[in-house]
Amino acid sequence: MKKQIVYIHGADSFDSYEDYIKYLKETEFSLDWFVQKKKWKMSLGEKLGDEFQILMPDMPNKFNAVYQEWKIWFEKMIPFINDGVILVGHSQGGTFLAKYLSENIYPKKIGALMLVAPPHTDTPDIGNFKLVGTRHGASPLENISAQCQEIHLFQSKDDPIVPYSEIERYQKDLPTAKLHIFEDRGHFLQEIFPEIIEEIKNIG
């Protein structure tokens, strides 16, 4: 049986519809925004080989994502998921996985959780994906470690979107996670990401 990887992409979210409309009106574009680029997620299957099955759901409304909508869509995949699945979330996709696993018990065994440049609470435009503790003094992510055999956090110090302080919050909330820090990867939009390929291959 092939090892499964579920990749959850990033998105934008807003606190109100008015904020979303303002974003659409005021955001300035350049031609570069519309040029299709090859990103590392698209080569996961090629780099990992035939023993892996790569699942990449298109999550709803990525320009104005709502957590509850993503939760519904994500759960529709569960009947097709095998034990030992590797969950990979990039940017707000990582925040979604963290929030979901902190609030829910996933019915399949999770081989690894890999969060790449994930916002936590203080990154702009993450709407109701923010991670908030359920009671005074509790880590909002306290339920995750018990569900995941391994947890990996990837962050670059020069990320122009997610402040470095966000990964420090994750590190505090998930003290057993393996931290992978880079100096020059920005928001991890490159064509290749050999480090995550190596870590995935090493997962038992």
Per-residue model confidence as pLDDT tens digits over 166-200: 999 999 999 999 999 999 999 999 999 999 999 99
pLDDT given at position 142: 83
Q: Is residue 139's pLDDT more than 70?
A: no
User: Is residue 38 very low, low, confident or very high in pLDDT (cuts 50, 70, 90)?
Assistant: confident
Mean pLDDT calculated for residue range 112-137: 84
Token readout for 72 is 């519904």
- With cut-offs at 50, 70 and 90, classify the pLDDT of residue 79: very high
Residue 134 has pLDDT above 50, yes or no: no
pLDDT, position 132: 76
> pTM for the whole thing?
0.93
Those residues whose C-beta lies under 8 Å from the C-beta of residue 91, and which sit 6 or more positions away, are 9, 10, 11, 116, 117, 118, 119, 161, 162, 187, 188
Q: How far apart are CA 131 and CA 120, in angstroms?
A: 6
- Residues 73-98, mean pLDDT to the nearest whole number: 98
Domain spans in the chain, listed from the N-terminal domain onward:
3-202
Check: CB of residue 42 under 8 Å from CB of residue 51: no
67-75 and 92-103 helices cross at what angle (nearest 10)?
A: 70
Task: Classify residue 43 by its DSSP letter.
Answer: G
User: CATH says 3-202 is which class?
Assistant: alpha beta
The CB-side HSE value for 64 (13 A sphere, CA atoms) comes to 11
Backbone angles phi, psi at 99, to 5 degrees: -65, -45
Which two three-digit tokens encode residue 147? 């569900």
